[in-house]
Amino acid sequence: MKLFDTHAHIGLITEDPIDQLIITQEAKQEGIAHILSICNNLQDFFQVYQNLSTANHIYHSIGVSPSEVMHPGKDWEIKIEEGIKLDRVVAIGEIGLDYYRKFGNKDSQIELFIRQLELSHQYDLPVVIHNREAGRDVLEILRDKLPPKGGVLHCYSENWDFAKEALDLNLYFSFAGNVTYRNARNLHETAKNLPLDRILIESESPFMVPSAFRGKRNKPAYLKATAEFIAELREEDLEEVSTTLYENSLRFFGLEE
């Protein structure tokens, strides 16, 4: 069995470069063939990219998350364009809207989101989308601005009705460890009913640890528990589900085996 962790904050699990490499190798031993490293800001992106430069099974996404809307950094657009040219950068993100934490104001978040969607269109890259209590605005913007390579709604948190609308767009739906929680009924319904070829999985480490590891700090090596839960939920063979999830990830990021 091979899995692809499509969203891991390796730099938030640990800042130590050696420990970051160890985390990626531990995951590899657990069948996690690839990981997409995510950072919320550009300074962290360039540092983590350098730290993991010898880990050829790790890919990277570059972007400014809504949490950084008030301080995206000097010349942030230029730095994104520089980062896009690095060999193992395969997406822009995470980008999006977060109305729960109230970072900045809605208009400034929307402006930052749209500008990065335009960059992803310009550079022909898919986008990793953060949505927290902003679903209607996210969907409205994506209907107009989603790049040709599409996007993934990471750590999916909406309900099945929302997913049915989003299915009309070139979007994937990524589930993290919170799908394994007993009270996550909206996620259960969505993961059960979505076409399997539109689903990805992620660790969202160090957050959203699967229920099987409750009390521990999450890491990519725990991803298999999420795949197992989704297969059981859908009453489908684990090996077949895992293979499809892996192939979906390669297709979304434009990668070959």
Q: What tens digit of pLDDT does each residue of 108-123 get?
A: 999 999 999 999 999 9
Of 129 and 74, more confident? 129
Residue 101's pLDDT band (cuts 50, 70, 90): confident
Question: What is the per-residue pLDDT for 102?
Answer: 81
Question: What is the per-residue pLDDT for 177?
Answer: 98
- pLDDT above 90 for 16: yes
Question: What is the per-residue pLDDT for 139?
Answer: 98
179-236 pLDDT, tens digit per residue, is 999 999 999 999 999 999 999 999 999 999 999 999 999 999 999 999 999 999 999 9
- pLDDT above 90 for 73: no
19-52 pLDDT, tens digit per residue, is 999 999 999 999 999 999 999 999 999 999 999 9
DSSP assignment string, the chain: --EEEEEE-HHHH-S-HHHHHHHHHHHHHTTEEEEEE--SSHHHHHHHHHHTTT-TTEEEEE---GGGTT---TTHHHHHHHHHTSTTEEEEEEEEEETTTT-S-HHHHHHHHHHHHHHHHHTT--EEEEEES-HHHHHHHHHHH--TT-EEETT--S-HHHHHHHTTSSEEEEE-GGGGSTT-HHHHHHHHHS-GGGEEE---BTSS--GGGTTSPP-GGGTHHHHHHHHHHHT--HHHHHHHHHHHHHHHHT---
- Percentage of the chain beyond pLDDT 90 is 97
Domains, the chain, ordered by start: 3-253 (3.20.20.140)
Question: What is the per-residue pLDDT for 233?
Answer: 98
Q: pTM score, two decimals?
A: 0.97
Average pLDDT value for residue range 61-73 = 96
- pLDDT above 90 for 257: no
Question: What is the per-residue pLDDT for 41?
Answer: 96
